[in-house]
Structure 1
Amino acid sequence: MIGAAAVALTAALALGAPAPVRVGSKEFTESEILGAMATQALAAGGVPAEHRRALGGTRILWEALLRGDLDVYPDYTGTISEEILGGAVRPDEEALRAALAPRGVGITRSLGFEDTYALAMRRDVADRLGVRRVSDLARLPALRIGFTSEFMDRKDGWPALRARYRLPQRDVRGLAHDLAYPALAAGEIDVTDVYSTDAEIGRYGLAVLEDDLHVFPEYRAVYVYRLDLEARAPAALPALRRLEGRIGASAMIDLNARVRIDGAAPDAAAAGFLRAALGLAPEVPPEYRWQRILARTREHLALVATALAGAILLGVPLGVLAARRPRIGRGVLALVGVVQTIPSLALLVFMIPLLGIGAGPAIAALFLYGLLPIVRNTHAGLTGIPPELTDSARAIGLPPAARLRLVELPLAAPAILAGVKTAAVIAVGTATLGALAGAGGYGQPILTGIRLASVPLILEGAIPAAALALLVQSGFDALEPLLVPRGLRRRAGRVES
């Protein structure tokens, strides 16, 4: 299974064209805007570039950079210091640059703004409880706290706050950053973590608490890049450096507001800034909804078809083995059953370090999930054949291979086809998670819609995914007359005669 990155690189080399610079971004709005800005600045500087957006958290992008799946992504000095370097290096640009160089990684100078972590509350709640500083939370153990999932486990996040401020709260839950603001506004939680450049702070009139013990380090925005990029694309770093010091905090807040509140696309917001601040004229071709749906459909079908083909090629022989060798069969069925119990998101994330970002992890996860119904149904179909039929085949002298091909598999065909159909429908739904690894598909508009609280965007992915699942199921029903012997077909609950 070859990831999309490897395919693109191979094709580019084959054509003699330079491989595009691969720009990544995390799954929050500001990172996606900065990723789009870098991509457009590179293209304006004559450097082919592609943006792999909303790939996940810090570790996923960092590992992708080290593997060479990415060349550039936006990050923050405090995050690099704490999350990547374990707090061993202060969040100073020169110190970080010296620590990263042995790993083949560099950073630009600050883009011009800091986006620090902070805790926020509804202003009326903060005023009523007399909360102005983070240390004030220590006397309010009953507060309901909702933190982003990454913040819950970051060394510079909740563990550091809890230890330094000796906070007693136990009702602390993890949730998506983009869902925290509506939850806070609705009174479902009392405190959440925010980024200081979030447009929602002003929109909801939130009170930002003072970090009076200075737990959070400096988080100056920079681009992190592979040092070998300069040799591969000499014009890339000069293009990126044009952005150094050009994005102020107020400008970043306005950009976030354009996307999150006004509904502009990140690419359009980035292009508008580059035109106004740098005089660049990045090309952002109009993208119509039908074009997006068509592109996502192609990506989704490629993921499902590749994974399903692999699951059939391995699953049917494993089912035959399980039926022919009962002792081995118990182990095979147990193994594929255990795989099915692993949460799909966990399995996908586990595959990323092994296969990189792109289609590879998604295909591998879908392939593994497709094995159980195919193996189990093949085993059930073969072991459910009446003994007298197999005895008759032996009596006329058919060897085992011919008996399997001419008698047993045709008799087991209805069960096998049902297993393949189940695996295909499961794959259509589960493939939406592939967007978290940069595999595209219908999950891309769903994740973007959740981040922007946009129901139309969510439906843009959810409705085609549901329609595709129904279409796949109908397609397998239509295949049944071609694959299942006439006497074994089911119609209106009866066997055809």
Structure 2
Amino acid sequence: MADRPGRLFARILLAALVLCASLASAAAPVVVGSKRFTESYLLGEIVRQTYERSGIAAEHRQGLGNTAVMEQALATHGIDLYPEYTGTIVRELLKKDAPAPTLEQINAWLAPHGLKAGIPLGFNNSYALAMREDDAARLGIASISDLARSREPLRFGLSHEFLVRADGWNALKKAYGLPFTPGSGLDHGLAYQALAAKQVDVVDAYTTDAQIQRLHLRVLRDDRQFFPRYDAVLLMRAEVDERPLASLAGRIDEDAMRAMNGAAEIDGKSFTAVARDFLARGQGAQPAAAAAASAAPAQRQGFWQHLFAPDLPRLLRQHLVLVFGSVAIAIVIGLPLGVLAFRRPRIAGVLMGAVGMAQTIPSLALLAFLIAIVGSIGFVPALVALVVYALLPIVRNTHAGLASLAPGVRDAAYALGLREPQVLRSIELPLAAPTILAGIKTAAVWNVGMATVATFIGAGGLGERIVAGLAVNDTNTMLAGAVPAALLALAMQWLFDGVERWVVRGQQANAERTEVG
């Protein structure tokens, strides 16, 4: 009976490893990436479906984060290609200040990096600053130079990426002499909501954003031509065969792209459906009104439709694999570390400080760092990050559980001739099991929430819905990811509560039999 906790840990570990093994799949398809905004989602889905129409297996890893993450994903073969813009390639990736390079020149610069840009899609989506039309008219602001001369205390809601890009806020502020100081970064989709609610006054925008027309915004004229052209292309690794995508070249004009963005953001169509409708029409360059009319659905999907969408089993499986896999590995690492901290008090402080410090690392920073270390995006760096976050409660509770035992228990075991490993395995760990299990439970519940962040590097899970909902400002989509994650955390809590009660009852029954004997 004393070995029951040990057998329980072994079973948990075995089950988690089986789940991890199930993630391994057959031949890898072409992997298409996209960033965390509507247009990138849609273009990525159009590319995926175009590949599949050519008989080539393809996978779309949605919402992988900013340009730096995408660059790492290409470099580590985590993805094969993704939609990008020439201005971003030149200024952000290549760090050049060329005004209007040709695609051939861009490809000459990309060649040493093992990359190429191809399939110009047919539209320019430049950065811009936008304001509510009534405020802009009242203040007489039509251009960015007018904005620079304004002395109104305007509030800025700028996206995180725009705040740090080489062609973003700092360079724009210097070029125009803007006297404003923006606040903290804001998700691009939420910025429009904040602008409509008059919580901010100026946002960074993309010129093909559907919300510009819907919210009656004024796009400020870039009178000093600071922003370069952002012609949409596909950025890919040099060895990728772009011929199956040749039919997309020049097919999407700005009106058609704006209409597709509106179909997703305003009308509530899924990215998959909008992309399918576009490809089914046979031509993308059509008037915006016609494109919008053909793309608009009869009714926006409700919460229950989003919740029980066909992707739910896949997302749950990915989420569970991440949680159970990371907790199982953390148990294998954390239990010995907790025992070591208890046996060697001199190093306990250093050890606890190290695992505690790991908890302070911001999740996105840790994920980006691990992409470079591991050499890939997706499951492996996400799993490693979750293991790091799960270590502290397991190590701490293992140490605390062993330290709470009365010294007489160990002395009695040694008096019976048991060696130290036998005392640990048969006496100390079983008695400390309830405390240790409490730490494992904490780690598991934490990681259910932390695993939602893993979607930013293509690890999947329920976070996909949350990020997609943010991109299109759709509360139902966000809740369809957040609610299952919350229920999963509660289920994890109940599961480990039941295991704790089972272990305690086993110990009590074992003690009663010992007394009778």
TM-score (norm 1): 0.90
Residue aligning to 2:282: 277
Structure 1 counterpart of 2:181, one-letter code: R
Structure 1 counterpart of 2:131, one-letter code: M
1:326 aligns with 2:345: yes
Contact 2:306 2:476 in 1 (8 A): no
Structure 1 counterpart of 2:319, one-letter code: H
Residue aligning to 1:306: 325
Residue aligning to 2:228: 217
1:31 aligns with 2:40: yes
Matches for 1:336-485 after TM superposition, within 5 Å: 336-355=355-374, 356-484=376-504
Residue aligning to 2:160: 149
SS of the residue 1:341 aligns to: coil
Residue aligning to 1:198: 209
Which residue of 153, 173, 184 maps to 1:173?
A: 184
Q: 1:352, 1:322 → 2: CA distance?
A: 30
1:96 aligns with 2:106: yes
Residue aligning to 1:158: 169
Higher relative contact order (CA 8 A, sep 6+): 2
Residue aligning to 1:494: none
Residue aligning to 1:82: 91
1:67 aligns with 2:76: yes
Change (3 A) 1:487 1:228: closer
Structure 2 counterpart of 1:56, one-letter code: G
Residue aligning to 1:292: 311
Q: 1:488, 1:80 → 2: CA distance?
A: 66
Structure 2 counterpart of 1:182, one-letter code: Q
Q: Tell me the matched-pair count.
A: 469
Q: 1:78, 1:414 → 2: CA distance?
A: 58
Structure 1 counterpart of 2:252, one-letter code: I
SS of the residue 2:359 aligns to: helix
Contact 1:447 1:458 in 2 (8 A): yes
Q: 1:290, 1:25 → 2: CA distance?
A: 21
Residue aligning to 1:282: none
Residue aligning to 1:12: 26
SS of the residue 1:229 aligns to: coil
1:140 aligns with 2:150: yes
Q: 1:173, 1:91 → 2: CA distance?
A: 33
Q: 1:91, 1:412 → 2: CA distance?
A: 67
Contact 1:340 1:369 in 2 (8 A): yes
Structure 2 counterpart of 1:443, one-letter code: G
Which residue of 15, 39, 49 maps to 1:40?
A: 49
Which residue of 247, 255, 259 maps to 2:264?
A: 259
Give the drift of 1:480: 2.2
Give the drift of 1:278: 4.7
- What are structure 1's unaligned runs of at least 5 residues? 14-18, 231-236, 280-285, 490-497
Structure 1 counterpart of 2:147, one-letter code: L
Q: 2:507, 2:45 → 1: CA distance?
A: 59
Residue aligning to 2:138: 128
Give the drift of 1:454: 1.7
Q: 2:204, 2:351 → 1: CA distance?
A: 46
After superposition, the CA RMSD in angstroms is: 2.2
Contact 2:379 2:458 in 1 (8 A): yes
TM-score (norm 2): 0.87
Residue aligning to 1:107: 117
Contact 2:393 2:440 in 1 (8 A): yes
Structure 2 counterpart of 1:201, one-letter code: I
Q: 1:187, 1:117 → 2: CA distance?
A: 21
Give the drift of 1:288: 8.3
Residue aligning to 1:283: none
Larger displacement relative to structure 2 (359-368 or 256-265): 359-368
Q: 1:336, 1:366 → 2: CA distance?
A: 13
Contact 1:97 1:106 in 2 (8 A): yes
Per-residue displacement from partner, 1:294-335 (whole Å, max 9, x unpaired)? 221111100001000000000000000000001122111110
Q: 2:433, 2:119 → 1: CA distance?
A: 63
Q: 2:314, 2:75 → 1: CA distance?
A: 29
- What are structure 2's unaligned runs of at least 5 residues? 1-15, 285-304, 510-517
SS of the residue 2:248 aligns to: coil
Contact 2:455 2:461 in 1 (8 A): yes
Contact 1:414 1:488 in 2 (8 A): no
Contact 1:259 1:266 in 2 (8 A): yes
Larger displacement relative to structure 2 (152-161 or 444-453): 444-453
Give the drift of 1:486: 4.1
State the 4+ residue runs in structure 1 displaced beyond 6 angstroms: none
Structure 1 counterpart of 2:190, one-letter code: L
Per-residue displacement from partner, 1:45-99 (whole Å, max 9, x unpaired)? 2221111111111111122112211111110000000000002555421210111
Change (3 A) 1:360 1:117: same
